[in-house]
Chain A
Amino acid sequence: LVFTEEDKYGLYSNLLFKYFLAEGIVCGHELFVASAKEHPDNILKELPAPLLDDTHGEKLGDEAAAVKSEDFQDSMKIAWRYQNLPKIEASPTTYTKFGHYYDVSKKMPPELLQSIKWHSFYLHEELSSQPKMKACNMNSAYMRLLQSLQRIISQGGFDGSDPQKKPKNVLRIGIQSLGSLLWGDDICCSETPEDAHSLTKFLYVLRGLLRKSLSACIITVPAHLIQNKAIMERVTNLSDMVVGLESFIGSERETNPLYKDYHGLVHVHQIPRLNSLICDVSDTKDLAFRLKRKLFTIERLHLPPDLSDGVSRASKQELAGSAKLLSSGCGAMAIGKKHLDF
């Protein structure tokens, strides 16, 4: 379960979200997109186009050549995406490259979109149907979403319940702006919300669904609006991976010369520790992202040389010289077991 905290204006988190879905399309996974804000059809139309030419792959050398054959575990992790950073959760067994690159300036060609099966859940279209689940003291919008999800999972054979179903595929689930007012949840509005447990209950059931099926999920949440810190703590506990995106727009860091190359920071709050005592922790936790015209990259935070005389830096540490590009371009963030091997 990848939990993403959105940046203030949701720009970058949307981008990540789209990457996750785009990668799903390129890998041939099935998609399930849920949103209360935008109609999923529109989201899907706006996905970035993949760069499928090999020349790009050669340039990046060994990063692209990671051959990963992985046996599918029965359960995949749920990624909560803070901001719309697409996370490539599943490692496709049919591809030798781990992850793909995308061109942000172009849209995904519709033929690619039609080559996979996708399901959408737009809250405002679903309001008419009554939830058939047992009342769980949960927000009704969440209940409907869970019900729809469960239906897709069992019908699509993702949970292995029907042995006659087609060969196993992975379901990529993307849920946008969960916890916001549009879902009928008031945790973003007040410090003592009326129903403080809906989101956490939803997450728990979602986690159960993900654990028993071949799916990966990314959720973006406007965490900066949630005023009750206790809820954030609980939500973190219930997620496998928690990433926060902090964009510099509108904050004092935008003009700080230290950060002039970047558009924001990436905070990795938690990484999954599944099926093992240890988790794969990278050397550094200072990551920043930037959005160029075509590429969205995530890199180790590299401070420019301090050329001013006599004025000390505002920020604390100075990272070593070479800014090794950790991330390959758009969205090829290889998660799986090798978490931050960009």
Chain B
Amino acid sequence: QGKFTLLRDTRTDGSFLVHHFLSFYLRAGCKVCFVALLQSFSHYNIVAQKLGVNLTAAKERGQLVFLEGLKSCLDLVFGEEEEQPGQPSPLQFLSESPSDLRALFDFVRVSLSAPDSGSWKGPVLLVDDLTVLLSLGATPVAVLDFIHYCRVHVCSQLKGNIVVLVHSSEDVEDEENELVVNSLCHHSDLILWAEGLATGFCKDVHGQMKIIKRLSLQQVGEQDLVQVYQYKIQERNVTFFARGLSAAVL
């Protein structure tokens, strides 16, 4: 309850983690607000079906609130001039000020505070992928503010969980990106870091996953617990194994 999990990927695609958490929380009966900035609804739907969850049904019964970033953006950019005055687009920062992500936060707040939330266990906010906001022109400070507001509202007030995916690269070329990612790392309770193998591409081992439990946040003097596994992604699930012990080797 009230945890902030950071999903991070470097040199590889960590979106399988997003799919996992989405189906995990839906199956657990939580109310999920999914801010999907990178892919379309049908993509997530098709993968979720393979994992045993029906997103359309979840949306209909009110368990899932889905913000399709791509569609919202199109509506904003190509939309008609007359807009309902009470409902600004969540991605309003694109046409308004790039340092104001308030509309996006309002969307999250409204969707997770709806009166029927009592019928679901704990609210969850899921974001894929936060670094896209930087590509769209939002300032890093605005992104961090947005996450901060979400944390206060979802984690502290509603005792819900937040899972956010960010993309980082090994060379520190993109300073804004590094700023956001590092800051989020410091504030996370759990970090799942999917990295491509340093030795290059391999058919049987798709990458390495570092799991960092930030025990140092809970108690002074505690060390963070770091575990490293390697993984291989398959059609319907992901297998994890200790380093060097992939099925191909054994």
Contacts and interface: CB of A to CB of B under 8 A. Distances in A.
Interface in B34-93: 38-40, 42-43, 46-47, 50, 70-71, 73-74, 76-79
A150 interface: yes
A208 to B, nearest CB: 4
Contacts, number: 113
Given A234-B134, A277-B235, A205 B40 contact: no
Contact of B235 (A203, A205, A238, A276): A276
Contacts of A150: 74, 78
B118 to A, nearest CB: 34
A137 B95 contact: yes
Interface residues on A, range: 35 or more
Interface stretch (B141-149, B168-176, B213-221): B168-176
A277 B50 contact: yes
A146 B77 contact: yes
Contacts of A238: 38, 132, 135
A229 B94 contact: no
A212 B40 contact: yes
A75 B135 contact: no
A283 B200 CA distance: 12
A320 interface: no
B40 A75 contact: yes
Interface residues of B, number: 46
Contact of A136 (B19, B77, B173): B77
A74 B42 contact: yes
A207 B70 contact: yes
Nearest to A200: B135
A73 interface: yes
B77 A205 contact: yes
A197 B135 contact: yes
Find the residue from A137, A228, A237 having the highest chain B CB count within 10 A: A237
A201 B71 contact: no
Given A137-B95, A204-B73, A237-B129, 4 more contacts: A75-B43, A197-B135, A237-B135, A277-B50
Interface of A: 73-75, 133-137, 146-147, 150, 197, 200-201, 203-205, 207-209, 211-212, 228-230, 233-234, 237-238, 273-279, 281, 283, 285
Interface of B: 13, 15-16, 19, 38-40, 42-43, 46-47, 50, 70-71, 73-74, 76-79, 94-95, 98, 129, 131-132, 134-137, 167, 169, 171, 173-177, 201, 203, 233-238
10 contacts: A197-B135, A197-B136, A204-B132, A205-B73, A209-B74, A212-B70, A229-B174, A237-B167, A277-B47, A277-B237
